[in-house]
């Protein structure tokens, strides 16, 4: 394995959530919060390169905290599922001056496409001020899903309508992808909420998804939207979406909360502890099919409401890490 300078925090006084602390040559890799989609993607990346777990130490936290670790020199690599460009990565470059994206090999991308719903994606050169060349990676879709036990047909219609008809009021950069042209991206294999289906068909879209069956929804005023970590894209973007809904829907209040993102949101909807959730489309497909992280049982009360933006897997390090590729972590 390539000699990688790494500051490993172990023992009394360690403040980072590191697992498997060991030798000085092991890099510290931020793989996302426990039970998150980022962790699933991280494992997919390690599998694609044949990287065993004894080759690195893991840091399990949201992307914002992880980048703080990269900035401080305590984390060597942070893996994130983010919009493009990511403000957090731009901030890292502004403070460190030596941020760098790690590109994936063609063989790794081929493996990932064969074994998941993620697809090849190129981050164009100059997407960030420090990035002079194209970077090869993978992408998925961020989507909004709803709890069919708490979101009735009328509300599902209004949520979809307001997302699109007032998208210009959403100040987050990723809101530019909330368009009717993109509305059904990421819906493949998912049941659609009947209210959302009605709205999209009124706008002239063809909706072939099976229609979700609604439970015995009761009138309520408070709704919870699960997002992600504050340092990622979901939390601020979800806050903008909730603000728009609150502006136009009377007697109903939507609150966005910080979570571990996709998988936690889907599980919370399953358990009826959440009304709406932002998620990558791939784990939502697994939740419906009862596969992957949900192989213990499918979720039957989640429905697609709309596409939000394309999510790009971004692997960030600093020049000082001496890591040029994930293949550097193998023997």
Task: Give the domain ranges of the chain.
Answer: 18-139+313-329, 141-310
Residues 255 and 245: their CA atoms lie apart, in Å, by 10
Question: Is 167 or 14 the better-scoring residue by pLDDT?
Answer: 167
For residue 8, pLDDT over 60 is answered with no
- Architecture per CATH, domain 141-310, reads as 3-Layer(aba) Sandwich (3.40)
pLDDT digits (tens, 9 = 90+) for 86-145: 888 999 999 999 999 999 999 999 999 999 889 899 999 999 999 999 999 999 999 999
pLDDT digits (tens, 9 = 90+) for 122-137: 999 999 999 999 999 9
For residue 153, pLDDT over 80 is answered with yes
Averaged pLDDT, 183-210: 97
Question: Where residue 19 falls among pLDDT bands split at 50, 70, 90?
Answer: very low
The SS3 assignment for 63 reads: helix
Question: Where residue 24 falls among pLDDT bands split at 50, 70, 90?
Answer: low
N-terminal to C-terminal alpha carbon distance within the chain: 4
Structure-token match 């890490």, residue found: 321
Q: Are 125 and 285 in contact (CB under 8 A)?
A: no
Question: Where residue 2 falls among pLDDT bands split at 50, 70, 90?
Answer: low
Question: Where residue 230 falls among pLDDT bands split at 50, 70, 90?
Answer: confident
Q: Are 326 and 108 in contact (CB under 8 A)?
A: yes
Averaged pLDDT, 11-28: 48
Helix-then-strand count for the chain, H and E: 9, 11
Burial letters for 148-181: b for 16+ Cβ neighbours within 10 Å, e otherwise?
bbbbbbebbbbbbbbbbebbeebebbbbebbebe
Other beta carbons less than 10 A from residue 10's beta carbon: 12
Other beta carbons less than 10 A from residue 96's beta carbon: 18
pLDDT at site 3? 53
pLDDT at site 33? 87
* CATH number corresponding to 18-139+313-329: 3.40.190.10
Share of the chain above pLDDT 70, in %: 92
Same fold, 18-139+313-329 and 141-310: yes
């Amino acid at each position: 394995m390539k000699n990688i300078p790494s500051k490993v925090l172990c023992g009394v006084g360690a403040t980072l959530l590191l697992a498997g602390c060991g030798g000085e040559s092991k890099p510290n890799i931020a793989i996302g919060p426990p039970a998150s989609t980022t962790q699933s993607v991280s494992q997919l990346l390690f599998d694609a390169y044949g990287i065993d777990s004894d080759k690195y130490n893991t840091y399990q936290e949201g992307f914002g905290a992880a980048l703080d670790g990269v900035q401080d020199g305590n984390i060597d690599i942070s893996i994130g599922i983010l919009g493009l460009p990511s403000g957090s990565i731009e901030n890292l470059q502004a403070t460190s001056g030596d941020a760098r994206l790690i590109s994936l090999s063609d063989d790794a991308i081929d493996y990932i496409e064969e074994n998941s719903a993620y697809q090849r994606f190129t981050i164009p050169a100059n997407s960030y001020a420090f990035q002079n060349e194209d970077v090869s990676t993978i992408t998925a879709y961020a989507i909004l899903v709803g709890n069919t036990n708490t979101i009735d047909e009328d509300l599902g219609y209004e949520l979809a309508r307001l997302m699109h008809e007032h998208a210009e009021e959403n100040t987050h950069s990723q809101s530019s992808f909330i368009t009717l042209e993109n509305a059904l991206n990421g819906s493949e294999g998912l049941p659609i909420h009947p209210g959302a289906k009605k709205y999209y068909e009124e706008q002239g879209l063809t909706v072939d998804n099976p229609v979700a069956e609604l439970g015995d929804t009761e009138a309520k005023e408070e709704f919870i939207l699960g997002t992600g970590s504050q340092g990622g894209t979901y939390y601020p973007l979800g806050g903008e979406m909730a603000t728009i809904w609150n502006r136009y829907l009377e007697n109903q209040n939507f609150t966005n909360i910080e979570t571990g993102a996709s998988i936690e949101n889907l599980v919370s909807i399953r358990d009826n502890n959440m009304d709406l959730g932002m998620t990558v489309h791939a784990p939502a497909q697994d939740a419906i099919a009862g596969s992957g992280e949900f192989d213990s049982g499918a979720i039957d009360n989640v429905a697609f409401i709309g596409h939000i933006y394309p999510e790009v897997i971004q692997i960030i390090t600093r020049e000082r890490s001496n890591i040029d590729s994930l293949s550097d972590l193998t023997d």
